Amino acid sequence: MLVPVGWHVIGTTRSARRKDAIAAQGVTPLQWSGDELDDNLAEALGRATHLLTSVSPGDDGDPVLNAMAGALAQARHLHWAGYLSTIGVYGDRCGDWVDEETAPDGTSARAKARIKAEAAWQELAAAAGWPLHVFRLAGIYGPGRGPFEKLRRGTAQSIIKPGQVFSRIHADDIGRVLLASINADRPSTVYNVCDDAPAPPQDVIGHAARLLGMEPPPPVRFEDADLSPMARSFYADSKRVHNDRIKRDLGVELLYPDYQSGLAAILRDEGG
């Protein structure tokens, strides 16, 4: 969204194999080990006006802060900074609604690490004097990232866990929210980034199957589902997430306010 309108965008990657793919999008690639601030990255950071980090915290905390906190503390030239977090910080709400005023109280190790990382970024930004916007993302889907390929491979499952509900967001709408935040020039705040229609996971799988002209996979109890430990852990949290702030404060109009419209667009773009 930024490159076509004349921005110079620099993106980091830990993989040398991805540098060509990044460059093909008009982005200047920098390979970063994830461990320390090298000269190339220090030079880029020294002239950046906007910073977006999507790096997940690890056992030792946030890798970006571990490597760059000193340089970021001196980055008085930053006009805007964004941190991509997750709605997982809210923990399990038994299907109830949350908004940005809801206190984060996730109990999983991942949620606790995110809560700690959010606080560390907010503390650094406040001390350095540049605005930080925390974007708590719902489950991301989009081209190449959704239920269609699983259905085509025959690996999709219609998992039934009574009361389970997830919020989602199309990747293109994440971009729209970020661009709106950059253009809005608002003070530091937190935004939930999700669509208007939280739904049970089996409803999404069933709808995607119908779009493909397939029979939905047979229902399977959550207890019997073939899930990785990571995938299973996501089912520990059930909540519905309000997105009023991105609409009210940023004027965002979602391209895909529900999974039905988002899935239809993905299939249409595929030529289906």
Domain membership of residue 180 (yes or no) is: yes
Domain membership of residue 16 (yes or no) is: no
Domain membership of residue 12 (yes or no) is: no
Phi, psi torsion values for 227, nearest 5 degrees: -130, 145
pLDDT at 272: 59
pLDDT at 185: 83
Domain that holds residue 103: 32-269
Exposure string (b/e) for 43-72, b if CB count within 10 Å is 16 or more?
ebbeebeebbbebebeeeebbbbbbbbeeb
pLDDT at 35: 86
Domain CATH number, residue 54: 3.40.50.720
pLDDT at 133: 98
Q: List the chain pLDDT tens, one digit each, 272 residues.
A: 888 888 999 999 988 889 999 999 999 999 998 888 888 899 999 999 999 999 999 989 999 999 999 999 999 899 999 999 999 999 999 999 999 999 999 999 999 999 999 999 999 999 999 999 999 999 999 998 889 999 999 999 999 999 999 999 999 999 999 999 999 988 999 999 999 999 999 999 999 999 999 999 999 999 999 999 988 999 999 999 999 999 999 999 999 999 999 999 999 988 75
Cα end-to-end distance, the chain, whole Å: 25
Domain membership of residue 112 (yes or no) is: yes
Domain membership of residue 1 (yes or no) is: no
SS3 labels along 130-164: CCEEEEEECEEEECCECHHHHHHHCCCCEEECCCC
The model's pTM is: 0.95
> How many domains does the structure of the chain reveal?
1
Domain membership of residue 10 (yes or no) is: no
